[in-house]
Amino acid sequence: MSLRSIVHLLLHAAVPALVAWLFFRQQWRRAWLIMLATMLVDLDHLFAEPIYDPDRCSIGFHPLHRWPAVAVYGLLTIPRRTRLIGLGLLIHMALDFGDCAAMTGTLP
């Protein structure tokens, strides 16, 4: 596993933790765990061949990483009940988008 992959995975835990601490301080652990649970969106990688490819951009490739899905994640941030789920999913997509840009030097 490359250093880039390790940093990417760590950011998937650290960024939601920071957002939870900054914006949901009263219940930061609960907020962080909900946003962390949204990382299960990566289960869509199980449908790819190979399942893990460190040089593949997730955005636009995996079903739950396509733009229509990202739009739905944005809508999930509107109702209070689903806000943390939508936020966690958008953070995940933003980190994957950044990883794609860093990997290819261009935007997906």
pLDDT digits (tens, 9 = 90+) for 73-92: 999 999 999 999 999 999 99
Number of domains in the chain: 1
Looking at the predicted structure, is the pLDDT value of residue 107 above 70?
no
Looking at the predicted structure, is the pLDDT value of residue 14 above 90?
yes
> What is the span of the domain harbouring residue 87?
3-104
Q: How far is CA 65 from CA 7, 30, 37, 77, in A?
A: 20, 25, 16, 17
How far apart (Å, rounded) are the C-alpha atoms in residues 8 and 13?
A: 9
Structure tokens at 81: 């009940």
The stretches of the chain forming alpha helices (DSSP H) are 3-23, 28-37, 67-76, 83-104
- Which tens digit of pLDDT belongs to each residue from 44-59? 999 999 888 878 899 9
